[in-house]
Structure 1
Amino acid sequence: MRTLFALVLAGVLPAAWAQTPATNPMPDGSRDMYVGLGAVSAPRYQGAHARRVTALPLLQVEWSNGVFVSGMSAGMHLSTNPVLEYGPLLALLPRRNHSGNDGEWLGAPVAGFAGESVPTFGATDPKTGQPDRPTPPAAEKRSGNRLSGTDAIGARLQGGFFFHYYLTPSLRITNNLLAGSGRDRHGATWTVGLQHVARAISPHHTVSLSADLTLVNGSYNRSYFGVTEVESLRSGNDVYAPSGGLKEVAVAARWNWALSPSWMLGSTVRAARLQGDARRSPLVERPNHVTVSTGLAYRF
């Protein structure tokens, strides 16, 4: 029986990071389910310097008909070929707001004081005749959260498909393509990787290794790394309209410890570096980031 246990904690990891469970041949009408609780230490947003630690539920379920749920993603294995895995994929990308604000000026409206009027684009100074573009207070305090003053991006249900090919019984090439993210829901991501599914290092202990890269379209980058003129006025960040391309490269290692036939402890370390237009965004404080997660799960 070939099973890939992926520690996917709901609500904190971008959908592109989620790992599609390997197909798990089971008797008709059966299922394989893990439920537990874990913790994740990760940047507050992609490119943030500040970190947060969050306790979140862990869930992975596979049914004999090929349907699976893994954290915030779900899909269905359609292939009967042992070296190919493919099928539809759904993933929920959590909402992003400007939380993490550590400066009371950051994110405040430009007209935040009594007697001030709201500046509008196209308005002119009556004395100079020049466009009225006052410097926002946030520009004087760039040491805080750079998302402050930017528009929130709602949670997005993405749709797409996955395609994996096994080079050997334990080594597979993975492809996850998802669309529907961003402010206008036109954002798309393609994550391709090389994954060593499982290697037993001692009784009850297995290690999995992976490397991947993620490409995105312009709509995705403009939503999550761009800065509009209105946001620039509020936040003090420079206006920025990135294009699509390579967004990120990453490596990861996952360690599973089977405490008993029913209990499993899983831990993951993932190191990534932003690339291209995403890395050059004024919202990015640190292009390199590490995510560490661990969780205890019960197998039903």
Structure 2
Amino acid sequence: MVGQLHGGEPVTDPSVSTQAVSGVSFLAATGNGNITSLGSLNPTAYGVCWSTASTPTLADSYTDEGAANSTGAFTSAITGLTPNTTYYVRAYASNPGGTAYGSQVSFKIPALTFTPHGGYALEFDGVDDYVEIADAGLNFSGTSMTLEAWIYPTAWAPNIYDGCVIVKEDLSHNGYMLRVGNSGQVQFTLGNGSNWSDATSDVGTLTLNKWQHLAGVVNAGNMTLYVDGRSVATGTLTGSFAGGSDPLRLGGDYTFQAGRIGAGCSCAYADVKATPLRFPSPENRGLSPTPPGRAGSSAADVLPTDQSKPHECCDTAPWQR
């Protein structure tokens, strides 16, 4: 196609083709294209564009891989996608003459599903149930870590600070927490010995009677809270966090200990890691859900079979179907 004049000469568009999308995960994919001709002037931008409607353009979501000075195949990351959704993709290349698009391809993000290994989960009554894990191996500190859990809430704690999923804190404001409550709100909190930093979602982020994956990630002080692999809140850690001197608790905190989560809430998997995991990423447990049933072989798995201080929900049958 011939576009505007450049130095008195007409400018021809580049040519580009679109190949099949690859690397499809629950929230991302890789777009593939090929610049077959640069046109009379080199492209100033190229990449892929995508949409849930057919024939996407640069008015929709797109990537920009910068200028191109040679023909050839390229890849480009397609992100911010929604599970169980079909997307349409076209490669593009732009020069001063205009923008050329390749043919359209489509792909579908799979639905995010979860089946607990063995069908087991901890079930809390919201009154006096909690699990306590000894401090050894869990007293992490610094500016990077990950907390994650699969939960099935059937009722909400009245306030966000009441619904303790994973809590390790002490009276000196050290620790880390992953909490839910207040009609579906989620919070990831870190303490540095004098104050708390948090990433808190909107009310209604979670829903009742459904398995949902929670992950709080801090990477070099940047806090991100994820639900089912999607970012729902961000925050900034002040200084560095310290793990706190009290034991880690599921369903409780250092003051009230028990009953600090909604009645009937089940937890099939909880994990604490000293390193930040990347979400979305198909290799992470959160997006390729394979949580352990009763096993917890490492100190970082916070649901071992030999809880250091099991309480009511763990007296005779710690894992409830």
Q: Do these two structures clear the TM 0.5 threshold for a shared fold by scoring above it?
A: no
Please give the TM-score of this superposition, normalised by the length of structure 1. 0.27
Q: Please say which structure displays the higher CA radius of gyration.
A: 2
Calculate the TM-score normalised by the size of structure 2.
0.26
More helix as a share of residues: 1
